[in-house]
Each structure stands twice: as structure tokens, then as C-alpha cells.
Structure 1
Amino acid sequence: MDESDLHAIDAQLRAIRVDDGPPRKPLLLDKMFMRAIQWSGSSKMYQSDESSTPPPPSPPRQPEIYPLPLGIPEQSYGPSPLSMLFRYEELIPLVLENFDKPSDWAKLCRVSKGWCGIGRKRLYEHVWVRPWEDGPHVKLVRLFETLHRRPELCRLIRRLDVRFFPLATRGEERSDLDDHVQLAMSNMCNLESLIWTRDKSLNPTLFETISHLPRVQSLEISGHSYRYYDPSLLGTFSSLEDLRIMMPDPHMKSKLVGLVTALDEREQGGLKGLDIICQSSSLIDDTILTVMAPRLRNLRRLTFWGCTRVTRDGIYSILNEVGPNIQELSLDALPHSSLLDLTSSTPLPQLQTFSLSITIPHRESTSAVHTLSLFDLPALPVCPSLSALHLTISGSKPLLPLETWITFQSQLPENLRKLSLVNLVITSPETLSTVLESLPNLEELYITATHPSIMLPIPALSASSLRIFHVNFTLSSASISSRGAVAQYLHSLAEKMEQIEQIGSANMVFEVHRRMEDDGERIVKLCRWSRTFLPGYFQVWRA
């Protein structure tokens, strides 16, 4: 074959077109097979043990509704019991105090003027705007539109909780909103508790107005103060007792000692509660704690979280001043802080709640699952009145063996009523049984376990006096593969626990309701959370 033949073959190959013929569409086989799997339950054309047809979603659970009792017929000898409620007005507040939802109170206000007076006080006693609820933007705007026009409603507010603020609002709309908030806050002369944690939502004028409110006892604010408010004004609050600062900045740090000193110089004394929450910040250190300690003589509650330079020495400087009176203590035990060993602390005879977040030191080998030893758990101070203990492992989920727990629980008093072991993974029914049997007065329990199967065969769970039980799992299982499956699993647990009132797993929390049928059968029903306060599990995380 000479060179001319090679050129001829090359020309023929180049003449071939890939797109000859009509265009072709993809077969979409993936969708076809997916439909076949979905149809397999009814058509029986496709059988597979590996992937079964998922069940249809169950309707969302609704809160339990208890109807009013039927009135007594007219031919009876006396009047209906419900009619007697209107005759004896002193009974009305006792009956109405069982209502909790604002929507119910709004309806009750329409019954009569007397009921409206009671309902208004209850409706506006505690007002909140939370970002995880529906329509926080609209709610906040309409709330302050109403309040700035009705000073009498402002005077009814005792607790105000603002965790959302529309920072994206600009121009005239933002100016009007700020004016409404300013005027409404100036009229809240009976306000006792204020939570305003939305970063960059405060301004100097608004904060000065808040500082003049005469009855504010509890304050929780964002610590980002530079260019937004003057932290030294905190020292001018006439009734302030509890102060919680979220994410303080250097400007706040520079004023912290001064404001604590100013509050201590008041006639009624200084703070009773101090919480400083950071996010791995080195601003707050032992030096500041040592300087503040003499000015915190009235302290009852102390929290330091995320303060990487706070160690045992700084905490001891405060406990040496307030140890006999401290009731709540919440700390972040970093590896270098030495806060795992508090046995050398001054005795804490009044300590009721102790929270400790533990950071396990980084290990070279990450292949093997870490098992907790006694040295990974805290050595508690002398605290005979302890009733609530919260332990949290940050950054990992190590296993909690039975032997480690038996040694640790010897420190705990038998009157402990609340126990939280978050991310301390329970691996066996024996460990959970030992927890329940060693603490017979336990009413609230929050734990992490490996698998749902370890919960069901535990007699101690049925015999316990738990009112609240929350469990998270680290391993997947068919019994918790969906929200409906989790609810069924929790229902099976609730049927075994006679005193349980609240049960949950992960971010699901249910109310437990019981009733007895006419034939004597006891029915246990899980209902959606319907209360206005946060469930116990989420309060533990906040603790």
C-alpha cells in the first residue's frame, strides 16, 4: 500500500459523519426502573429484598383536645356545673390558668369583659418573637405597631423575648420600625425580664431607654456593643440581678469590670446571676475573673462557655467568694483548663444544678472508637444538694462502658432528679439499667445510645419515675428510619413507662396523653408539642 492509498483511506474516514440519521433521545432507563420499583408493591412485577416500597407518609400528629363535659339535662335536680362557673367569679382565674396557647386566650377574651381583663393580662404577660416560628418578620412589625399605639398594653408586659429583628429593612420602613420600638419600650414600666439577642439590632437611643426601665431584673443581650450601645449603661440598671452576655467583643470586655463594680455598689447589692457565652474566644481570662470576684458576692448562678482562657484558677477565685451560696454552675472544660477535677474547690452546699461541657483531647488514631475512662469524666466538688447534672461531650461521641459509670455515679447523691448525658454513648441495656437503679428519684433523663434495640428489654425503664425521657441514637435502624417509625418506637416505650409525660428523640418531642376507655382499657397517645415554652431537651442544650 503506497502513500496515495493511505490518503484515500484517510479521506474516506473523514467523510464519515457521527450525526448521520435522525436524532435520538435518551431512553431514561433510570426513571423507568424507579417507577418499576415503586409499582412493585401493587403489580408484583418486580420483587426485591434490598429496596422495599416506602410506606405513604402518615398525617402529622395534632395536639390533644379535651372537650368540655356535657351539661346536665334540664329535668335534673340542679343547674349545670358549667353554669356555676359564671356565678362564682372567684373560680374563673383558677379554671383559666390551665390555658396556655395565645390563640386560646384570644378567644377567651371575647366571652365577657371580666374574662377579657384576665385574658389580656395573660396574653401580654409574656411576649416573644422567635426566628424558628412562622412569620417572625410580620409578627415583630405588627407587634410594635400595636404596642406603640396602646401604652396600656405595654404596661401589661412582664417578659419580652426578641430573638429576631429584620436587619435587612432599610429606609423609611426601618426608621418607622425603630420609632415604634423606641416608643413601645419607653412605656414598658413593668418589664421584669428582657431577652434581646439579635446581633446589630440595638442602637444607643434604644439601649438608653431600656436602662431607665425601673423593674428590669433579668437581661440577656448580644455582646457586640461597639457602635451599637454603651456597655457601661448596664451598671445604671436599678433592679438588674441576672445578666447574660452573648459573644462579647473587646469593647464589652473593657467595660465589664466597671459595670460589675457599679452594680455591686447599689444599695441592694450586685448581680445574682452572670452568664458569659463565647465561641472559642480568648477575650475573657482568669485575670478578669479574679478582679471581678470580690464584686460578685451575691452570685447564685455562674456560667462561662467558650472562654478558652478561663481555667480552674479563675473559677476558684469566684467560688471562694460565693461558694456557700452558689446554686447553678455551668462551665466549659477544655483540656488545658483543669476543670475536670473540682475536688479541691470550696464546698458548695447549695449547688443544685451543675453543667459541664467536656472536650476530649485530640488523639492520633481516629480509626478505633474512643471509650471513656474515669479520667475523662469530672471529679465533682462536695455538693450534697445537687439535683440536676448535665454532661456534654463536644466534638466526638465516645462510648460509656458500664464499669466507668459505676465508678462515676458513686459521687452522685440519690436525690438527683435530672440527668443529661449528651454524646456519652450508652452501648448496653445493663448500663442504662444501672443508671436508673442507682438514681431512684430521677424524673428527667436525656441520653445518647447506640441502637434502639437496647431500650426495649429494660425492666428498670418501666419501673422508673421518669416524667421526661429523650434519647438520641448513633446507629441507623429500621425502627427509626423515618419520622413515623420514630414515633411508633417512642410510643412503644411510652406504653411501658407509667409516669412519662414527655418523650422524644433527636429534634422530635411528643406529649404523652393517657385515657381510660369505658371497658377499662388504658390508651396511650403521643401528640404534637403544643406548649408555648421550650421542651426539656432544648432547655438542656441551652443550659
Structure 2
Amino acid sequence: MHEWPCELVPGVLDALAWRVGDLAACCRVSRMWNMWATPRLYERLWLRDHLRVIRVFRTLADAPHLARMVRILELRVYPFGLPAEQLEQLEEQIVRTLHAAVHLRELCWTRDGSLNDRLLDTMFAHLLELRKLEITGNSRLWSPDLLAMRLPPSVRELHVVLPDRSLVQHLAAIVERAAPLEVLSVLCMVRAYGLMQNSALITDALLETLAGSTRLRRLTLVGCKNVHGPGVVRLAQAGALEGLALEGVGMPPEAFAQLLPFTHGLRALTLTYPGRAEDVAPFFARVAELVSGCDALSSLTLYARSGSPPALGSDGEEAPAAAPMHPVRSAPLPTAATTEVAVVPAAAAATSPALSTSLVRRLIFGRTARTLRRLWVLEMGVSLYQLEMLACSALAACLEDLVVHLFEADVARLAVLLSKFSRLRSVHIMSHVRSAAEYARDDLLYIARHCGEHLAQIGFRNRVWNVVVRGDERHLAPYDMAAGVYPEKLLAVRAVR
């Protein structure tokens, strides 16, 4: 076997990024391949298996030169079932690994009960390049004030998962340590009676306190029912927001108007359907204003959480029976004054929220039609008529990632509509089990074969396929889990269910 030219090897290995098994095999090809493959193999460690946690930290503790290659470390599980002596040994190996991992940029530590003050006291000592920290908010076994003292000042992104009262009380000190913080994300829900419910711990007063130590580019608040608006506005004033996600917060629709002066540079916006039926029409009106005020919005995500009120029409009226199905028209796109209302079928209307047609018009007639690259609508019914409006607008020439929640089953019409999105790279169809929208694998293959040349991924509910080209034909291949990255659109259910 002839040795490959060395200049070709990096390109081949880049295509195998985060595929642990393939990269490990490449390390054994030759010394040259090992030189290029080993840094890629250890660049990102995604630890979601107990045995792998044990083996990885044992290896890195004994091989500091490998630990220095780690840039991203995600620890989401922990082998609590080990004997006490082995747990102590693992803890010591983790500390040695983190002391050697001097180039670590991102650390994710979200497993409850796995962090303690012994680790916290020294684990950050040599992480001078750490930029992002995602941490469990359950501080039962560790001290938030110690985190405030030990957190590397280099951290600019802080993500807190399910914070308890003790951590919330020290959040201002932690944020001040990382000043000026650029990214803040708080997933703040509690489990009660078997269901995830919004938490009252995060308040506007706390957010206003944090504003003095931040200049946020991205803000994410999930499940913060005591956030009513003033704190978000204060954070927006203090920063230059490029990304804003307000999911399950207590902000009334009218509070969105106060954000308008600070959203011109917004590139990503995520909002959730209101919890009260009387807020639906004002919600869509204010969202339309926010969208219209953005100069470069590239990502818009709207979703309804379980337990949302019944479906309403585009202007907040009760949804009538479904409009009759009709073929794709070649007539001109409806004008902004068009009064036709697209609704979900009556069988689904009793239980599912629906997207506002007036908001769809804002998307296709405003500047967003030429800037939006990603549109996700989850758990919120989208009619084929609304999809047709999008497909017949300027948006069809720039949209790359689409998620829609359908209730209508018309494979042929859906294929034609999606074919109009010439730059579409990924499309995912959501639907309720009780709806008429049932799409089998063959249906998705039919749709994929009618879409543009850029389509690389297609999915239905919790199933995902990659679109591969063989000769002149397109085929569907199972999603490549070996890459270690789950489709982000399926992770969005964290606050939906």
C-alpha cells in the first residue's frame, strides 16, 4: 500500500471530525496519520457512557501530552456505582487531567452529584483559556461561593442547568467574576408531580443586578416565570444582543415592545407560545413587530410547550374547519392585505396551537425574507397554505434549515412546496400522533428527490436520515450517530415536553 501524500491527510481527517472509532483507526495507519489524527481524536471528548468516563480519565491522567490536546470536554454522566476507593481514584484522575488540559476552551459538567468542593477547589487552576462553562445548578454537594472565587476570569459564556436557590443567591458574584460576560443561559425548571414546571427563582431584580457585570451578545432564559420584562430590557440595554431566547418566561406580550430599540442587531430569536388564550393575538402582533425591527435576523424559532391553550386562527379567533386542499397555484403571491386565514384541521384544533398567518406575512414581506436562514416551528400547527406563502416569497431563495409542525398529509404537494426552497439543506417535519400528517420513509425519499441539490438531511418526528447521492439517484441513509452530535432540532424538546 502506497503512503498518501501528507497534504491530503488533514482534509480526509477533517471529514471524520468527532467520529471516535474512525479517528482511532486512522491513528493506527502510520506515524504520519497518527500525527494528524491523534489531536482530532482528543479535541472533543463527549462523555455519555460510564465506562468511557473511567477509561478516558485514566488515560489522560497518565498521558498529559494527550490532555493538552483537549479543547472541549462534556461530562454528562458519572459512574456513581463504583466502590468508594475507585470513586476517589477517578476524582484524582479528573483533577490531574484538568491540570494538564491547559488548552481547554469549553467545559460541560451537568451530572448532578458529580461535583464537590474537593474538585472545585483545584480543577480550574490551570484552565486559563477556558471560555465556556456549562454547569449543573444542583449545588447540594458543592459551594457556589467557592465557584465564584475559583472561576477563571477568561470565561465569557456561562450556562446554568436547573439552578437551586443557593446557586441563584451567588449568581451575581459568579457572573461578576467572569465580567464582562457575553453569553448567559439559564435553564430554570423544576420537577413537580412528574412534570417539568417553571421556577420562580430567577427574578427581574436579579437580572438587573447582573446587567452591571455583563455585555451580553446572547441571552437564554428557560422556565423563569418570575421574569416579567424589566430585567431582560436592562440586560439588553447593557449589551449588544445578537441572540435572544425567552422560553416559558412570565413576560406579557406588551413587554416585548420595550425590547424594540435593542433588537436591530438581533440574529437569532426564540420565543414560546403564550400560556393564556387571551394573550395569543397580542403575542403574534408583538412578535411581528420584533421581527420587523431586526436588520439581520437569520434564525427564528417558535414553539408551544405541552399544555398550551387550544389552537386559534391567525388573528386570535377560534379556528374554523380546515380549508379544502388545493394544488399549488401559479397565481401571484397574496398581498399584505389578503384576508385569507390558514388554519389547522378541525380534528387537531381542539388540542394544538397554530401559527399566525399575519406573522407569516411579516416574514415574507419584510427584510427578513432575505436574511432568514433557519425557521423552526415546533408544536405549533403550520398549514400547507402558510408553507406555500413562504415558498412563493423571496424567503425561498435563502432559507437553509426548516422545521414545521404539520397536520395535513399531502406528500405530492409538500414535495412541490419544499422544492421551491432552492438552498434548503435540512428539513424536519413534526406532527402529533393523532394528526393526519403521517410520512413514511418512502414519502420522505420522494420529497428528498424533489428538493434542491443542497438537501443533506430530512426527518419526521424523532427519525432522521442523511440524504446521499449515488450516481444520479438520491437515497436515505440512517443518521450518523458515530459523529457524536445529536440533531439540534430534536434537542429542542427540552422545554417543549
Whether the aligned pair in 1 keeps the contact of 2:115 and 2:142 (CA below 8 Å) is yes
CA distance in 1, matches of 2:14, 2:494: 27
Q: What pairs up with 1:46-125 in 2 under 5 angstroms? A: 83=2, 86=4, 88-100=5-17, 101-125=19-43
C-alpha displacement at 1:403, in angstroms?
Answer: 5.2
In the alignment, which residue of structure 1 is the partner of 2:429?
Answer: 471
Tell me how far 1:508 sits from its aligned partner: 0.6
Pair 1:457–1:109, CA change in 2 (3 A): closer
Shift of 1:225: 1.6
d(CA) in 2 for partners of 1:258, 1:413: 39
Q: Among residues 487, 506, 512, which one is paired with 2:461 in the alignment?
A: 506
| 1:494/1:329 CA distance change after superposition, 3 Å | same
What is the Cα deviation at residue 291 of structure 1? 1.4
Conserved 8 A contact 1:451-1:476: no
1:342 corresponds in structure 2 to 257
Counterpart secondary structure, 2:360 = helix
2:347 pairs with 1:434: no
SS in 1 for 2:199: strand
CA deviations 1:301-340 (Å, max 9, x no partner) are 1111111111111111111121xx2111111254654477
User: Larger deviation: 457-466 or 390-399?
Assistant: 457-466
For 1:436 and 1:355, locate their aligned partners in 2 and report how far apart those are by CA, in whole Å.
22
Once the two structures are TM-superposed, the CA of residue 155 in structure 1 deviates from its matched residue by: 1.0
Query: Residues 120 and 411 (structure 1 numbering): CA distance in 2 closer, same or farther, change over 3 Å?
Result: same
**Residue in 2 aligned with 1:538?**
490
Do the aligned partners of residues 153 and 334 (structure 1) sit closer, same or farther apart at CA in structure 2, a change above 3 Å counting?
A: closer
**Higher relative contact order (CA closer than 8 Å, sequence separation 6+):** 2
- Cα distance per residue 1:336-356 (max 9 Å; x no partner): 544773365323232111111
SS of the aligned residue for 1:399 comes to coil
Does the 8 Å contact 2:134/2:161 carry over to 1? yes
Amino acid at match of 2:479: W
Shift of residue 376, structure 1, vs aligned partner: 4.4
Q: Which whole-Å CA distance do the structure 2 matches of 1:232 and 1:202 have between them?
A: 12
**Aligned with 2:470: secondary structure?**
strand
Q: 1:400 aligns with which of 340, 355, 363?
A: 355
Amino acid at match of 2:219: L
| Structure 1 residues 418-457: aligned runs within 5 Å | 418-427=374-383, 429-438=384-393, 439-440=395-396, 441-453=398-410, 456-457=413-414
**Percent of residue pairs bearing the same amino acid type:** 27
Which runs of 5 or more structure 1 residues have no equivalent in the other structure?
A: 1-81, 131-135, 265-269, 364-370, 517-521
TM-score by length of 1: 0.74
* 8 A Cα contact 1:402 1:431, kept in partner: yes
Matched, 1:493 2:430: no
Contact map agreement 2:236 2:259 (CA 8 A) in 1: no
Say what the alpha-carbon RMSD is for the aligned residues: 2.6
Distance, in Å, in 1 between the alignment partners of 2:460 and 2:282 is 27
Q: Which has the larger radius of gyration?
A: 1
- Aligned partner of 1:288 in structure 2 is 206
Residues 527, 359 of structure 1: CA spacing in aligned structure 2 closer, same or farther, 3 A cutoff?
Answer: same
Range with bigger deviation, 237-246 or 525-534: 525-534
- SS of residue paired to 1:526: strand
Which digits, 9 at most, give the CA deviation of each residue in 1:138-176, with x for residues without a partner? Answer: 111111121222111111111001111123334223222
Q: Distance in 2 between matches of 1:273 and 1:403?
A: 32
Q: Which residue of 2 aligns with 1:251?
A: 166
Match of 2:298 in 1: 387
How far apart in 2 are the matches of 1:218 and 1:430? 42
Alignment partner for residue 274 of structure 2, among 337, 342, 359?
359
Of 117, 120, 140, 1:204 maps to 117
4+ residue stretches of structure 1 with deviation over 6 A? none
Count of paired positions: 430
Q: Distance in 1 between matches of 2:304 and 2:400?
A: 22
